[in-house]
Structure 1
Amino acid sequence: MAKPKGRGPVRASIYVRISRDLTGEELGIARQEEECRRLCARLGFEVGEVFSDNDISATKGKVRPGFEALLASQPEAVVCWHTDRLVRVTKDLERVIALSVNVHAVRAGHLDLSTPAGRAVARTVTAWATYEGEQKAERQALANLQAAKAGKPYTAGIRPFGYGEDHVAIVPAEAEAIREGASMILAGESLSSVARKWTQAGLLSPRSIAAGAKAWTLRGVKKVLTSPRYIGRRTYRGEVMGDAEWSAILDDATHYAVVSILSSPDRFSGGPRTGRTATTLLAGIAVCGVCGETVSGRGYRGTKVYGCRQTHTRTPRDIADERAEKATLARMVWPDFLPPVLAMHAGGSDADTAHLRAEMKNLRERLNGLALAYAEGAISLSQMTAGSEALRGKLEEVESKLSGVTGLPPLDSVSGISGLIEGWADAPLPVRRSWVAFCTIVTLRPANGKHARNMTPEDHVSLDWHHLAGDGEE
């Protein structure tokens, strides 16, 4: 209510607001407050509380803490730079009208909300402000759409992680972190592992820094690794518009493989995650000693482990991998190993296609993952289409290789088994996986109440050899 006469000067509350603060220095609201104070001095008002909302729109339905505090304070009068700083929509105006106070604006004059005439004027002014706001929004939306179709960057906001202030130039250290993060996800590691690595490297996102955050969130990491921005695509409201003016950081196949993994409806904390079967040595090969299910790679309390779906076992990956590789190499040096292997090569066996078939299976799972992600609304139709094309191209490449391969896992015709053993450490993961699967039966045992530090490698891993045809076994 307005202050009764004879009780000293009016104590006015100042309200200031800007919709966007590009620098974060609050210079806009500081200038508004300065002019509002000068108006109070001219009107003979005593300045009371100052309420502000920085970088908050009055038309998008967001809560304005300063505005809410102003209403709750029951001011004697309100002074603002312009009435559209105070209200832009009718519903907010009606809340101010309920105060029955005078509103004085530096640039829009005086509104006496305690009278019918004043309220009518205020409603008219607000109606036109709403109209202009809607018109401006439509014009801006059209301009944004045209810029998106042309592949131009949206430079009004904070720069994206991986790119410079112009939103185009690549920041090398951040780009490398993005590539490494994608590789970690493809290798079966978690979003939290990527978040920790980026945080420990001191590579926070510019938006997080502006917000005062000190670490990456899982949501932030996922947003980066699934954004089409990083394969050089321009989006608008979630839809890919086409090629962008900036350079890509990730290749299409890697990006969409990561999208498939992170967007899969089957993915949840602590459970199985898609896309892991061909990215660790024993995932999909070793079996759980309790349920007989093949294991997948995952993390447990900061340690990389293998485990089945029911987590009967959490076997450290380094122990299991070392045991399996040693057993595979040991099998290869036995005198009875080479003759049947050469015979199987000569006979055109399909055993050496194991790594290619595993890769094909992996790619098909990722294609299915994209379809599921689209069905669940996690990605758009354009993302699913582009991702499917990228993964199908890779699938065709693998299928082409497969069509020209016969026999066992790849074996150099000159260096033979000795060459494979000597170069084992540098052999591609699919090659090592295929030989491990060909030579060994790996069973991972549960702890059965033992502490991990008290368990030997033999306690963790049980190994048997596959017998070859012609080696004396039925």
Structure 2
Amino acid sequence: MHLGDHRLPQGRATLAPQLLRKVRPGFEALLASRPEAVVCWHTDRLVRVTKDLERVIALGVNVHAARAGHLDLSTPAGRAVARTVTAWATYEGEQKAERQVLANLQAAKAGKPYTAGIRPFGYGKDHVTIVPAEADAVREGASMILAGESLSAVARRWTEAGLLSPRSIAAGATAWTLRGVKKVLTSPRYFGRRTYRGEVMGEAERSAILDDAAHYAVVSILSNPDRFSGGPRTGRTATTLLSGIALCGVCGDSVSGRGYRGTKVYGCRQTHTRSPRDVADERAENATLARMVRPDFLPTVLAMRAGEGEADTAYLRAQVKSLRERLDGLALAYAEGAISLSQMTAGSGSLRSRLEDTESKLCGVTGLPPLDPVAGIAGLIEGWAGTPLPVKRSWVQFCTLVTLMPANGKHARKMTPDDHVSVGWPCLDGSAEDGEAV
């Protein structure tokens, strides 16, 4: 005799098909034990679908239910009764599931939070109250993506801060995954929207953590296929000084950082050059600083600053490029089904407004990299070692023309810095004409 596990399947409010297909360890153990009889609390706890009943019938034993009596499966009449009881149990489960689906849909349209399961990152157990530390992390993560940093950088930041998601904690994880970070930063719940099965239903009865413009901007960046197709990496910030700035002396393409036989080098896609990064970086930085101390540099920059006003054209152009890429990303995300039409329309309107404003500021502005108006050029030179990489890159690009040369049969150990790198000083208007070799 085997006492059936009356807790399996779990007594839930819904019996969706995906739940019915789940493996029931207790039921499988019952069948494998080849019992002489089965005792259970209720037949509904033993079987609720016909396929499970047929497996019990195949055992050829009697079923005794404490709340539903005896089922003699050894006779045609008993099997007919059992099949009828199971059919009605299946019907009842499907009805409950349908009612639950309609109730969930109605709650979603009313903006009520779905409070079943583990709480979402950023909100409390009621799925409504904001958790300040986690909400700040979401805002910081969105700002990092908008600034060009990667999902990996956001994942590291959240993990190092000890702010793991409740779901990952329940699963025993110790760090954020890229998929988890992306799911958080692209979820409409964080700008106050209620979704149902992936579709935005309307405003939610919870406070927003992000504004809609930031949300749609992040979605467009993270949905852009160029992030994974070898094209411009819109969601990744440069981690080397000369990537995308220095040019290959053979093909003229921009170079990127890579490794070669244990050495960090710069090279183009066709690997015409493998210039050591430390050599190229030192040459480029020294040439930039040498250009800054030239007598004509400060007056020229001051004149450009006076004509520039408060705006930085390099920054503004980067903003225009980023906003256009985000618009394209929204369109692609909608085409691929990642976002709904309402999301794309709202996001496009917000981005177009910002694009028009940025383009209007760009008109008539000259091209000077970001500069601290208090410290000036002298402060920039003095604090160059501690200058953030993005600022260094902008000044290197503004002040120099860096070309990386091929080995031409020479062994790397016998090549001098001049063999690896050629640096020139272009005119400060950005052209190469009348430039000067360093």
Is the TM-score greater than 0.5?
A: yes
CA deviation vs aligned residue, 1:367-388 (integer Å, no higher than 9, x gap):
2122223323333333333332
CA deviation vs aligned residue, 1:275-320 (integer Å, no higher than 9, x gap):
14777776643445675433578999xxx99876678889999998
Determine the structure 1 residue equivalent to 2:366: 407
Separation (CA, whole Å) in 1 of partners of 2:375 and 2:176? 48
Deviation at 1:223, TM superposition (A): 1.6
Deviation at 1:183, TM superposition (A): 3.9
CA 1:212 to 1:73, structure 2 compared with 1: closer, same or farther past 3 Å?
farther
* In the alignment, structure 1 residue 134 sits paired with structure 2 residue 125: no
Aligned match of 2:8 in 17, 29, 40?
Answer: 17
CA 1:98 to 1:356, structure 2 compared with 1: closer, same or farther past 3 Å?
same
* In the alignment, structure 1 residue 100 sits paired with structure 2 residue 60: yes
Amino acid at match of 2:34: Q
CA deviation vs aligned residue, 1:14-34 (integer Å, no higher than 9, x gap):
352254799xxxxxxxxxxxx
Q: What is the TM-score when the length of structure 1 is the normalising length?
A: 0.71
Separation (CA, whole Å) in 1 of partners of 2:407 and 2:167? 44
In structure 1, the residue corresponding to 2:5 is in which secondary structure?
strand
Separation (CA, whole Å) in 2 of partners of 1:204 and 1:414? 40
Amino acid at match of 1:390: S
CA deviation vs aligned residue, 1:229-272 (integer Å, no higher than 9, x gap):
12222111101122222222233333333323333334449x55
Aligned match of 1:195 in 155, 160, 163?
Answer: 155
Amino acid at match of 1:409: L
Determine the structure 1 residue equivalent to 2:292: 332
Deviation at 1:179, TM superposition (A): 3.0
Separation (CA, whole Å) in 2 of partners of 1:240 and 1:421? 48
Aligned match of 1:166 in 113, 120, 126?
Answer: 126
CA 1:66 to 1:233, structure 2 compared with 1: closer, same or farther past 3 Å?
same
Q: Check the 8 A contact 1:232/1:249 in 2, yes or no.
A: yes
Aligned match of 1:123 in 83, 98, 110?
Answer: 83
Determine the structure 1 residue equivalent to 2:352: 392
* In the alignment, structure 1 residue 235 sits paired with structure 2 residue 235: no
* Stretch of structure 1 that moved more, 134-143 or 412-421: 412-421
CA deviation vs aligned residue, 1:103-135 (integer Å, no higher than 9, x gap):
333333332233222222222222222222222
In structure 2, the residue corresponding to 1:242 is in which secondary structure?
strand
Amino acid at match of 2:192: G
In structure 1, the residue corresponding to 2:63 is in which secondary structure?
strand
In structure 2, the residue corresponding to 1:78 is in which secondary structure?
strand
Determine the structure 2 residue equivalent to 1:214: 174
* In the alignment, structure 1 residue 157 sits paired with structure 2 residue 157: no
Deviation at 1:415, TM superposition (A): 7.0
In structure 1, the residue corresponding to 2:424 is in which secondary structure?
strand
CA 1:431 to 1:161, structure 2 compared with 1: closer, same or farther past 3 Å?
same
Determine the structure 2 residue equivalent to 1:34: none
Determine the structure 2 residue equivalent to 1:51: none
Separation (CA, whole Å) in 2 of partners of 1:242 and 1:305? 51
* In the alignment, structure 1 residue 358 sits paired with structure 2 residue 349: no
Aligned match of 1:440 in 400, 410, 428?
Answer: 400
In structure 2, the residue corresponding to 1:464 is in which secondary structure?
strand
Aligned match of 2:425 in 465, 468, 471?
Answer: 465
Deviation at 1:155, TM superposition (A): 0.6
In structure 2, the residue corresponding to 1:407 is in which secondary structure?
coil
Separation (CA, whole Å) in 2 of partners of 1:427 and 1:462? 24
Amino acid at match of 2:434: E
Deviation at 1:195, TM superposition (A): 3.4
In structure 1, the residue corresponding to 2:209 is in which secondary structure?
coil
User: Which ranges in structure 2 are unaligned for 5 or more consecutive residues?
Assistant: 409-414
In structure 2, the residue corresponding to 1:14 is in which secondary structure?
coil
CA 1:257 to 1:120, structure 2 compared with 1: closer, same or farther past 3 Å?
same
Separation (CA, whole Å) in 2 of partners of 1:458 and 1:84? 83
Identical amino acids, percent of aligned pairs: 75
Deviation at 1:146, TM superposition (A): 2.0
CA 1:322 to 1:358, structure 2 compared with 1: closer, same or farther past 3 Å?
farther
CA 1:127 to 1:241, structure 2 compared with 1: closer, same or farther past 3 Å?
same
Deviation at 1:160, TM superposition (A): 0.7
Determine the structure 1 residue equivalent to 2:411: none
* Stretch of structure 1 that moved more, 121-130 or 423-432: 423-432
Deviation at 1:151, TM superposition (A): 1.9
Deviation at 1:359, TM superposition (A): 1.6
Amino acid at match of 2:65: A
Deviation at 1:362, TM superposition (A): 1.6
Determine the structure 2 residue equivalent to 1:148: 108
Determine the structure 1 residue equivalent to 2:40: 80
Separation (CA, whole Å) in 2 of partners of 1:108 and 1:313? 81
Determine the structure 1 residue equivalent to 2:412: none
User: Which ranges in structure 1 are unaligned for 5 or more consecutive residues?
Assistant: 1-9, 23-54, 449-454
Superposed CA RMSD in Å reads 4.8
CA deviation vs aligned residue, 1:76-109 (integer Å, no higher than 9, x gap):
3333333233333233333333323323333333
Q: Check the 8 A contact 1:443/1:462 in 2, yes or no.
A: yes
Separation (CA, whole Å) in 1 of partners of 2:190 and 2:136? 12
Q: Check the 8 A contact 1:232/1:244 in 2, yes or no.
A: yes
* Stretch of structure 1 that moved more, 118-127 or 235-244: 118-127
Separation (CA, whole Å) in 2 of partners of 1:184 and 1:265? 19
Determine the structure 2 residue equivalent to 1:29: none
Deviation at 1:422, TM superposition (A): 7.4
* Stretch of structure 1 that moved more, 407-416 or 353-362: 407-416
Deviation at 1:159, TM superposition (A): 0.5
Deviation at 1:141, TM superposition (A): 1.7
Determine the structure 2 residue equivalent to 1:275: 234
CA 1:378 to 1:18, structure 2 compared with 1: closer, same or farther past 3 Å?
same
CA 1:409 to 1:134, structure 2 compared with 1: closer, same or farther past 3 Å?
same
In structure 2, the residue corresponding to 1:153 is in which secondary structure?
coil
Deviation at 1:365, TM superposition (A): 1.4
Q: Check the 8 A contact 2:400/2:425 in 1, yes or no.
A: yes
CA 1:224 to 1:323, structure 2 compared with 1: closer, same or farther past 3 Å?
farther
Separation (CA, whole Å) in 2 of partners of 1:299 and 1:249? 40
Separation (CA, whole Å) in 2 of partners of 1:87 and 1:356? 66
Q: Check the 8 A contact 1:276/1:296 in 2, yes or no.
A: no
Q: What is the TM-score when the length of structure 2 is the normalising length?
A: 0.76
* In the alignment, structure 1 residue 264 sits paired with structure 2 residue 255: no
Task: Report how many aligned residue pairs link the two structures.
Answer: 425
